[in-house]
Copies of this chain bind each other. A is one copy, B any other.
Amino acid sequence: MHCIYTHESTFDKQFQALLGRGKMDMRTVTPVVQTIIEEIQTRGDEALGEHIARFDKWQPSAPSHMRIDTNAMKEAYEALEAPLKSALHVAYERIRTYHQKQLPKSWMTYEENGTVLGQKVTAVDRAGLYIPGGKAAYPSSLLMNAIPALVAGVKEIVVCTPAPHNELNHLLLAALHLCGITHAYKVGGASAIAAMAYGTGTIPKVDVITGPGNIFVATAKKMVYGDVNIDMIAGPSEIGILADSTANPRLVAIDLLSQAEHDEMASSILITPDEALAKAVIKEIEAYLPRLSRETIARESIHKRGAFIVTRDMDEAVALMNEIAPEHLEVMTLNPFDLLPKIRHAGAIFMGHHTPEPIGDYIAGPNHTLPTGGTARFYSPLNVENFMKKSSIISMSKAGLDAIGPSCALLANCEGLTAHEASLRERLK
């Protein structure tokens, strides 16, 4: 680990590599995923059973055994110790409160002549949430995916999560109960995405699929996109930190590590005009690494994919961070709100020294499902609108049609569409 400097001639090349971080090459897994999808499409539950045996090492004796028992959810919830139950409830309420503020409203406008235009917003009928399982079983992912769907008003929510050896994380079960999920299935990977996209005897076809996953899940989501909607295609997690000399190097170090511990492929990027800070952070990281339970992962991640960039000034730091467009951005400066107007691209922005990124992973309120790999340039955090869609409303009055119909007929005529023109002229007679 060492600093890199924007004033050095080699900087551009090093920075280009950072911009290419997290790119997934789906080509090698595409044929595998294609086969999985086709098997689910043609043989439904039967294929699901085979995939579960192959990937999760257990065999459902009947399709109905893929379904997660709601009693098991309730028992897990009731068995929670009080502090943990309370923590889940605090998270649930704060996430719900935040997402309720996102709810879009239908609207209508009225013109003098009686014409009405509007936009109607409605929830999708069915949503499918994919929640990773096994070593990366994150109950928080369930809250972050289910609550926006619930707030949107989705009537039917389906959850799929893999259960290696037919075992499930008890906190995930408890979270399923808390969210009131009744349709949950022990199915994982590309098979789960295909099952929710096209339906099987047991798992209903949904309209929208959201949720994180590995490259097989991401590739399956891309392949079913268009037949259903999806939230985004996400890759490895990442953090960018903008810091000035007021930042505590130890906190910066731990926050970078909290991203690095997720995954060997995670990226942790510090950009600061303060060379002394950058060097102190590197020292703190080395000191802190042995204290982590996931030391090996964090060490590999931070050594291979960490970056410590020293800039000429803070403006240059912000400009570079906009190019990075990180999933998570911490602004650890004296006056973080001064920088906010200049920050154009980031999934979630964590302001000031009291706002560590993990507070957003669990409990602050905003969603933790965020665009990665620079896709914050065009993707939004998961939000209630991922579970809703709009319809335009047009109601012309006779006077309104008389006013603009002739212009419309002229444009239709210019495009050579005579039935379009006739549809107008017949009414203008």
Contact = CB atoms under 8 A, between A and B. Distances in A.
Contacts of A365: 117, 394
A31 interface: no
A156 interface: no
A171 B414 contact: yes
A359 B298 contact: no
Interface in A96-128: 98, 101-102, 104, 107, 109, 116-117, 119-120, 122, 124-125
A23 to B, nearest CB: 9
A397 B354 contact: yes
A258 B411 contact: no
Contacts of A390: 380-381, 383
Nearest to A219: B226
Interface string A116-154: 110110101100000000000111100000000000000
A296 to B, nearest CB: 13
Given A208-B378, A336-B395, A407-B363, A423 B255 contact: yes
A18 interface: no
A394 B351 contact: yes
Contacts of A408: 87, 91, 358-359, 361-363
A395 B352 contact: yes
A35 interface: no
Nearest to A383: B390
B222 A233 contact: no
Contacts of A139: 411, 414-415
Interface string A326-365: 0000000000110010011111111111111111111111
A63 interface: no
A366 B233 contact: no
A207 B377 contact: yes
Contact of A250 (B94, B254, B363, B426): B426
A397 B336 CA distance: 13
A42 interface: no
A378 B389 contact: yes
Contacts of A119: 101-102, 366
A65 interface: no
Contacts of A125: 344-345, 377
Interface string A215-235: 000000010011011001100
A319 interface: no
Interface stretch (A52-60, A186-194, A272-280, A286-294): A286-294
Contacts of A262: 417
A375 interface: yes
A120 B358 contact: no
Nearest to A425: B254
Interface of A: 83-84, 86-88, 90-91, 94, 98, 101-102, 104, 107, 109, 116-117, 119-120, 122, 124-125, 137-140, 171, 207-208, 222, 225-226, 228-229, 232-233, 250-251, 254-255, 257-258, 260-262, 288, 291-294, 298, 336-337, 340, 343-367, 370-371, 375-381, 383, 385, 389-398, 400-401, 404-405, 407-408, 410-412, 414-424, 426-427
21 contacts: A84-B414, A86-B407, A90-B404, A116-B351, A124-B378, A125-B345, A139-B415, A207-B378, A229-B378, A294-B419, A349-B394, A351-B393, A354-B397, A355-B401, A358-B408, A358-B421, A361-B420, A363-B411, A366-B392, A376-B389, A381-B390
